[in-house]
Amino acid sequence: MGLLRIIVNRILEDVAAALAALSLLAMLAAQGGRFSDRLDIATHFAPVFIVLAMLSALLAALTPAGRLRRVTLGMAGGAIVLSSLLILPEVFRDAGPAAEEAQGPTLKIVQLNSWSARNQTMDETAEWILAQDPDIVVLEEATRRFQRAFESRADYHRTCNPEDRCEVIIYSKVAPLSGGLEPVDAGAYFPSTRATFAAPGGDFTVIGAHYTWPIPAGPQQQQSLRLTTMAQRYDRDRLIIAGDFNSTPWSFTLRRQDEALGLSRRNKAMLSWPAMAFSRWNIHMPLPFLAIDHVYAGKDWKTVSVERGPSLGSDHFPVVVTLALAPAG
């Protein structure tokens, strides 16, 4: 029995030390995201590493007192502190003006990456979206089959860019006054579209966007530059931007974008990926761990509600935001 206890303690010590060291090194690297886009990649996984650090501390607490235990607890504590420095600003930030209750007309937006042809429940996904009775639907990776499934069930107006095969679509109940994005000589290309609508007190514009992954570093930051340049052409106070940004709010890339756009990101620390099994190995995650789908709005919009929808057939959860336009004046 004594030998078994020694073996178990050794395994616990080694596993705890390895997890703590990995978490600490990753979160130390993540702090370098302040000046390096490559190191910023580590910031996206801050929630994962804070959980691993907590787990390592728990395992270490089960081992005999000694130098290794103290070192492991110290590394775990350091990783937790560094992770918190990334996560807590998002938790406590101002998400923009809120409406105590919906007064007058509201605008309901559903944002969803429909996961292209890999979505095996396109009909059910389309039905769920329409059941929310949205005024605006922003879709990424919407295949022709998904477009047919959606359009056969409701009379919405479609705005998209045929040059990128309508990879990003804005569906709207009312016809837009205009649509499409003019060429911008800044940043890397990315799938996007724009629709402008009439409203009391002045028009408002919706931009849909889909960024590439943060790996390798560089292209996503260039896309952010391009979006920021595009957004400057429209009334910022009434502008809405929604999409799959493949970027988390604890990253310095998204923090810089938030500041550059000058809009309020209305969903706060909302984990939206993965919603179901992903990758060629059909990996299932018990909980989503990346917050990468976002909705921005200018100061003329007040937030009525922000919700995450259910797992549908995509690897993303839908984000549902209801806004109220402040009275003109």
Q: What is the pLDDT of residues 4-48, one digit of tens each?
A: 777 888 899 999 999 999 999 999 999 999 999 999 999 999 999
The arithmetic mean of pLDDT across residues 249-267, rounded, is: 98
User: Would you call 85 exposed, middle or buried from its count of C-beta atoms within 10 A (0-12, 13-18, 19+)?
Assistant: middle
* Residue 99: inside a domain: no
- Shared domain check, 173 and 60: no
The arithmetic mean of pLDDT across residues 188-211, rounded, is: 94
For the whole prediction, is pTM greater than 0.75? yes
- Shared domain check, 12 and 141: no
CA distance 258 to 265: 7
- Shared domain check, 149 and 38: no
- Shared domain check, 309 and 215: yes
- Shared domain check, 153 and 82: no
- Shared domain check, 130 and 18: no
CA distance 108 to 115: 22
The last residue of one of the domains, among 57, 92, 127, is: 92
Give the rounded percent of residues in the chain with a pLDDT score beyond 70: 96
C-alpha 138, offset from chain centre: 14
- Shared domain check, 187 and 60: no
CA distance 28 to 46: 11
pLDDT tens per residue across span 149-173: 999 999 999 999 888 789 999 999 9
- Domain enclosing residue 218, as ranges: 106-325
- Shared domain check, 301 and 176: yes
The last residue of one of the domains, among 64, 92, 120, is: 92
Amino acid, single-letter form, for residue 227: L
CATH number at residue 264: 3.60.10.10
H helices of the chain, in order, are: 2-31, 37-40, 46-61, 67-92, 122-131, 144-151, 219-231, 252-261
Residues 6+ apart with CB under 8 A from 294: 111, 242, 243, 245, 249, 254, 265, 267, 319
Looking at per-residue pLDDT, the higher value among 28 and 118 belongs to 28
- Shared domain check, 150 and 286: yes
